[in-house]
Amino acid sequence: MVVTSCPTWGQLLATSILISTCLAEPIPHTSEVQLRALPNSPSGDYAPAVVPCPQDRPTVRSAQKLSQQETSWLERRRKATVDPMIKLVERNKIDGFDAGAYIRNAADNDLSSLPNIAIAVSGGGYRALMNGAGFLAAADDRTTDSTGPGGIGGLLQASTYLAGLSGGGWLVGSIFANNFSSVEALRNGLSPDTDVWNFTNSIFAGPGESFLQKTGYWFDIVEQVGDKADAGFETSITDYWGRALSYQLINAPKGGPAYTFSSIAEVDHFRNAETPFPILVADGRAPGERIISLNTTVFEFNPYEMGSFDPTVFAFVPTKYLASNFSNGVIPKDGSCVNGFDQLGFVMGTSSSLFNQFLLQNISAADTKIPAIVVSAIEKILASISNDNNDIAQYAPNPFYKYNPSTNPSAESPELSLVDGGEDLQNIPLHPLIQPTRKVDVIFAVDSSADTPYNWPNGTALRASYDRSLLSDIANGTLFPPVPDANTFINSRLNQRPTFFGCDVRNFTSGNGAPPLVIYIPNAPYSAYSNVSTFTPEYTSSERNNIIQNGYDVATMGNNTVDGSWTTCVSCAIFSRSWARTNTAVPQQCVDCFDRFCWDGRLNSSSTSLTENYEPGFIVGGEGASGTKDNAASGLSGMGMGMAVAGVLSLSLAL
């Protein structure tokens, strides 16, 4: 039912009218709003809309190779990485090796020999967003002092791909939704009174402090999702979750309801290949399936396409035309085309649908300022959706309907069900980056997973990707370097420092060559206890800043104070696969780096009190540093006390 005349808030609360039945006045068309990117949904709001199909009707294409769009974009991007890469490796120089001359020669004569860099940011809720933000701040040459001694600034500008999953997907999505803004800018606010990256108000309570702001927040969300349903599109809890995320991550009125993921491809800085290529990851859930296994189909979203390299589907569809009426790989002549379904918050919510039940279970405890009648109405809506088995992200019509029916588990389903990209344990989005057709050389894998009782990583995500590469029915020619067990990670302190996996290409004799070198960057307490719970929904500004700062410290090993060779070893890692391709001798300083940082293959699998109750202390905390190791139980008590070493480290993100 659609109510065409909305009551006042007082009337609404007094008469208990269900929020979803009332449509408020529509927001101004996007042309009336100050544009920062491309809020290009044809409806001007959250609801998708049917549009005329182009003359060359969209089709589903085989994943045998990259799309022509990505291929053309890569030609521009590889050239654009040359200058920042030269600046990075010349600043963190390798003795006896002219890094700048090597890169210039590759750029002039053979781009395929140029190092191809990727960054992958794991899931883990706000912990992953903030820790990953610290790494990206360290890697970004726009960050204050990131190109000074001990810095790795410019690594982001030298990278070709940037992948995120769940909380890491919020980070990637937020950066691109806000015109590829820097972490510093997003942390500090893009404009006066902006709510972007303001986590002091729980996502359940919404922005603002007043009664009307908090009730209006959920009223707007329910109205927008209702508009999508009224337009004839199926909705799920992910719609509500994605809309709520957008208010905190997109600096636009009402969280930018008309912003789409595919619109990134139309923004000048992306068209000109001035940024890395963003990818978000989700898992498929086959009809009737409840437990997501390691051989589930992994889907990716990029500005051009959505699909999977896995042999189950092995196909991609244009992201812009999701929810169009594809059947057996084509849109029939009488079929409709749709734009706007790939709303940016919905895509971020799809990659993090683990939080759908979190939303369902916690809305009543969100904030006492939310009127009980509003909470009750929202709970009824969410509960009814959950009872209908829509507690996941539904993509309907299924873009791969009738496509590859012999292998596609959802080929006969009119809907494609997607869930959180970490539910198959691959909590670092490595899958898109190890595809041979993308030819990535080195991946900086930022792991904020909560694998231990106190929310620290132990390599489970890496090991899942390695285990999956051994499954012949799903691996599809992808390779992954061997990874040890969780106890070895902890006993050998591999989860407290960067570790390289897959250093020696001679260990890989497959016809597919060697996999990328994986540089594992685990969340660890360098200067702050950053092991907050995945489901902690709010943070003070100082807590947020300290976790970002800690991520910066992890990325730089305390501005080279923990290991003075670190930044040079980053340069060595960047060149490693390129040297192998060009038969270039490895400089002695890099031989020493690989001896220092590469996993040597030894196992230390014994179960000890350390592995069972892993509680690391500060790594650069120094004398006087104190804090609470168990943030899972104690919240953020003591957060930031590790900054007592400020006299030793001049870290650029400290406030």
User: Has residue 26 got a pLDDT over 60?
Assistant: no
Q: Please determine, for residue 624, whether its predicted confidence score (pLDDT) is greater than 70.
A: no
Residue 334 has pLDDT above 90, yes or no: no
Would you place residue 178 in the very low, low, confident or very high pLDDT band (cuts 50, 70, 90)?
very high
**Is residue 648 very low, low, confident or very high in pLDDT (cuts 50, 70, 90)?**
very low
Residue 547: pLDDT band (50, 70, 90) is very high
**Mean pLDDT confidence for 144-161:** 97
pTM across the whole model: 0.90
pLDDT at 212: 62
User: Residue ranges per domain, the chain?
Assistant: 1-81+199-286+307-426, 85-159+441-655
Most confident of 16-20, 238-242, 586-590: 586-590
Q: Which residues contact 96 (CB under 8 A, 6 or more apart)?
A: 587, 588, 589
**337-339 and 117-121: which strand pairing?**
unpaired
**pLDDT for position 646:** 32
Write down the pLDDT at residue 469: 95
Is 60 exceeded by the pLDDT of residue 187?
yes
Q: What is the pLDDT of residue 360?
A: 63
State residue 366's pLDDT score: 47
What's residue 25's pLDDT?
32
More confident residue, 513 or 271: 271
Q: What is the pLDDT of residues 431-472, one digit of tens each?
A: 999 999 999 999 999 999 999 999 999 999 999 999 999 999
Average pLDDT over residues 575-592: 96
- The helix-helix angle for 82-91 and 99-109 (nearest 10°) equals 160
- Section 41-60 average pLDDT: 95
Alpha-carbon torsion (505, 511, 517, 522), positive or negative:
negative
Q: What secondary structure does DSSP assign to 152-206, as a single string?
A: -TTTTTT-SEEEE-THHHHHHHHHHHTTT--HHHHHH-SSTT--TT--SS-TTT-
Average pLDDT value for residue range 210-222: 77
Whether the pLDDT of residue 35 is over 60: the answer is: no
Q: Provide the pLDDT for residue 205.
A: 79
Q: Which residues pair with 387 in a beta bridge?
A: none
- What was the pLDDT predicted at 553? 97
- The band of 506, judged by pLDDT with boundaries at 50, 70 and 90, is confident
In 28-99, beta strands by DSSP E: 49-51, 61-62
In tens, the pLDDT along 391-404 reads 689 999 999 999 99
Q: Is the pLDDT of residue 30 over 60?
A: no
Whole-number percent of the chain with pLDDT over 70: 82
Q: What is the DSSP code string of 573-588? A: HHHHHHHHHHTPPPPH
Question: 395: part of which helix (H) or strand (E)?
Answer: strand 393-395
- 396 CB neighbour count, 10 Å cutoff: 18
Q: Report whether pLDDT(14) > 50.
A: no
Closest CA to 477 of 511, 516, 502, 503: 511
- Helices 588-597/566-582 angle, 10° precision: 110
Helix (H, G, I), strand (E, B) or coil at 240: helix
The per-residue pLDDT for 535 is 86
**Per-residue pLDDT tens over the stretch 277-292:** 999 999 999 887 777 8
pLDDT for 379 beyond 90: no
What is the chain's mean pLDDT, rounded? 86
Q: Is the pLDDT of residue 98 over 80?
A: yes
499: helix, coil or strand? Answer: strand
Q: What is the mean pLDDT of residues 90-95?
A: 96
User: Beta 161-164 vs 277-284: how paired, if at all?
Assistant: parallel
How many Å apart are CA 82 and CA 79, to the nearest integer? 6
